[in-house]
Structure 1
Amino acid sequence: MARGEDINKELSDVLNEMWKLDVNRMTPGKDYKINLQGNAGYVAKGSNNAKDNARAPLFSYVNEDKLKSIDTYAYFISLLDNYEMATGVAEQVTQDELRENDLFLDAILKTEVMKCAHRYLVRKSLAQSDPKQFKKQLYDIWFKFYNRGKTGGNDSCGFEHVFVGEVKFGKEIMGLHNWIQFYHHEKLNHVDYKGYKARDYKDKPDEDDYVLNLQFSWNGLVKPESTCFIGVSPEFEVAVFTIVFLLSKERSTNVKVKVNEYVMEIVVCRYGHSIGTSYPKMISSNNRDL
């Protein structure tokens, strides 16, 4: 798998194919609006003191009716309250929650995005052609629990870490790389957006960018820098991260791709046979220098 500075053309090609197929992607300025405000400042690791360079929330509008009308979003949203936020506390899974996992996987597997991802993985001999076997593979990658906190039993899974977010021993935010969960917690006043993260004025994002580097606090803890897709569908995110996860057996993988106008790194870390974390990191869009 290509590492370092070179753009991985083969992976970029398949991700661009999925991008074109992502009919459930939201349109900036129409389906949602973000308010970027200021560039967030430096925060030392372990510190929860951050200057607020964004007095208003990141999301000024989201068409919730549209989200709830699309199966993949609706089933995704139903999963967000299924987890214990703290690591070190074993997850207790109910039959209803197992059914919700099942419904979400069934919904995304019906989309052209996931069908495209599946075809590619079959061609690479990284997945079986049987959709039922692929669904089982996705379940193990995203929903199979493992012990992240080293105490208290199985307390984490890929889906929880990446899309829901966790707190490590009450001191550190981990994960929470999803725009829907971020918006949901902004509404509840649990998340406070502190501003976008940019190296200099040339890197300032646009309000129609689909990838954002940002800083925020969550329940009083500060995440100095985080990244997430904005407006893309759950199936697109699951497809992208699953492909990168399966293409590499390394514990941590950073691969550079160009998707639509965006040059970004896709970062995926594994936890055994499951995803430990995964997120995009914006490098440049077409209106900024590489």
Structure 2
Amino acid sequence: MARSQGINKELSNVMNEMWKLDVNRMRPGIDYKINLQGKAGFVSEGSNHARDSARAPLFSYVNDDKLKSMDTYAHFIKLLDNYETSTGVAEQVTKEELQENNLFLDAILKTEVMKCAHRYLVSKGRAQSDQAQFKRQLYDMWFKLYHRDRNGGEDSCGFEHVFVGETKYGKEFMGLHNWVQFYLQEKLSHVDYKGYKARDKKDTPDEDDHVLNLQFSWNGLIKPVGSCFIGVSPEFEVALFTIVFLLSDERVTNVTVKVDEYLMVIVVYRHGRSIGTSYPKMISSNNRDL
């Protein structure tokens, strides 16, 4: 499963089942509202300058009460301030942070989304049926620290890169593929949304889309193209990326799936037995093209 040119129907079926089970997904136009504004421009490699095609934030409204009251989101948000931003700076994990990691995994493992993912992985021989063993497997994939920068200590993990974001030498911005972190950082004025990235003139996203390709800066560092799910629950993202990671032994996996109306490539990079990065890459948001 190193690379998939056509739609992977089996994985699409599993992910659509998880999509239907994702009762914690936020509803566009009700639980949150986004303001797409203009189409983002080209950014040359190594540049930290981009035309701003969006004067207003991406998120014009999010139901904060709902965000903080749902169990998996509440535990997820507690993890977002547990990391050193820069690679090369060794992470110091406290007992409290270890407990927060475990409580988050406990919370998502109770959801039907993760139960579905677990059943599927057991059926493929990629996970043990015992939930405690599966939790340890998830912990190693997402939270076990490793060296991203060879010059420093254990400075990174899959969760930090994918869901929190990090910088390289203070000059390059990596990761941050999560909408909750994007929204919270935008509220703090750390994220500056620059506009959406469309595949072509016929493929413009709309405010109801749950997958977007975006351009933005984080603490002054540009992300020329960043892609993420919008509104989906933390458990859905963890489940989806976990499945793709565990089904493949390749260093880089690209698999094409159709989830709901969205045709996308799920990209997962392996860092030993842990996730290096993972994100969805939108191919088309126009249902008529699928």
Fold agreement, TM-score > 0.5: yes
**How big is each residue's C-alpha offset from its partner over 1:178-218, in whole Å with a ceiling of 9 and x where there is no partner?**
00000001000000000000132211101100000000011
8 Å Cα contact 2:41/2:50 also seen in 1: yes
**Structure 2 counterpart of 1:169:** 169
Q: What does residue 113 of structure 2 align with? A: 113
Give the 3-state SS of the residue equivalent to 1:217 in structure 2: strand
Does residue 250 (structure 1) correspond to residue 246 (structure 2)? The answer is no
Alignment of 1:197-236 (within 5 A): 197-236=197-236
**What is the number of residues matched between the two proteins?**
290
Distance in 2 (CA, whole Å) between partners of 1:152 and 1:255 is: 33
Alpha-carbon distance, 1:4 to partner: 3.5
Match of 1:67 in 2: 67
Superposed counterparts of 1:92-131, under 5 Å: 92-131=92-131
Q: Distance in 1 between matches of 2:112 and 2:202?
A: 36
CA deviation string 1:214-241 (max 9, x = no partner): 0001111101001000000000000000
- Matched residue SS, 1:203: coil
Letter in 2 for 1:19: W
What's the counterpart of residue 186 of structure 2?
186
What is aligned with 2:274? 274
In structure 1, C-alpha distance between the alignment counterparts of 2:200 and 2:121, rounded to whole Å: 38
Q: 1:168 to 1:281 in 2, by over 3 A?
A: same
Q: Determine if contact 1:262/1:285 at 8 Å carries over to the other structure.
A: yes
Post-superposition offset of 1:144 = 0.1
Find the counterpart in structure 1 of residue 5 from structure 2: 5
| Structure 1 residues without counterparts, runs of 5 or longer | none
CA contact (8 A) 2:2 2:250 kept: no
SS in 1 for 2:205: coil
1:44 aligns with 2:44: yes
Aligned ranges for residues 73-92 of structure 1 at < 5 Å? 73-92=73-92
- Residue 152 of structure 1 deviates from its aligned partner by 1.7
Matched residue, 2:26: 26
C-alpha distance in 2 between matches for 1:268 and 1:117: 16
Partner amino acid, structure 2, of 1:136:
R
Partner of 1:241: 241
Q: Is the 8 A contact 2:163 2:181 kept in 1?
A: yes
**Could you tell me how far apart the structure 1 residues matched to 2:175 and 2:250 are?**
19
Q: State the AA in 2 paired with 1:134.
A: F
CA distance in 1 between counterparts of 2:73 and 2:60 reads 19
Separation of aligned partners in 2, 1:78 and 1:145: 18
Whole-angstrom CA distance in 1 between matches of 2:190 and 2:95: 28
User: In structure 1, the residue corresponding to 2:202 is in which secondary structure?
Assistant: helix
Task: Give the alignment's Cα RMSD to 1 decimal.
Answer: 0.9
SS across alignment from 2:103: helix
Q: Distance in 1 between matches of 2:254 and 2:128?
A: 25
Query: How far, CA to CA, are the matches of 2:160 and 2:2 in structure 1?
Result: 28
Q: What is the alpha-carbon distance in structure 2 between the residues aligned to residue 173 and residue 289 of structure 1?
A: 33
Conserved? CA contact 1:202–1:289, under 8 Å:
no
How far apart are the structure 1 equivalents of 2:81 and 2:66? 20
Q: Are 1:202 and 1:288, in contact at CA under 8 Å, matched by a contact in 2? A: no
Q: State yes or no: 1:152 paired with 2:152.
A: yes
Does the CA contact (< 8 Å) of 1:117 and 1:243 recur in 2?
A: yes
Query: For the residues of structure 1 that align with 2:99 and 2:23, how far apart are their CA atoms?
Result: 25
Amino acid at match of 1:240: L
Q: What is the distance in 2 between the residues matched to 1:153 and 1:194?
A: 34
For residues 119 and 4 of structure 2, the distance between their equivalents in structure 1, rounded to whole angstroms, comes to: 27
SS in 2 for 1:33: strand
TM-score, normalization by structure 1: 0.98
Q: In the aligned structure 1, how far is the partner of 2:32 from the partner of 2:115?
A: 27
Q: CA deviation at 1:3?
A: 2.7
Separation of aligned partners in 1, 2:138 and 2:170: 30
- Report the TM-score when normalising by structure 2: 0.98
Gaps of 5+ in 2: none
On the 8 A contact 1:2/1:8 being kept in 2, the answer is: no
Quick one: distance in 2 between partners of 1:49 and 1:221? 8
Q: 2:2–2:253: 8 Å Cα contact kept in structure 1?
A: no
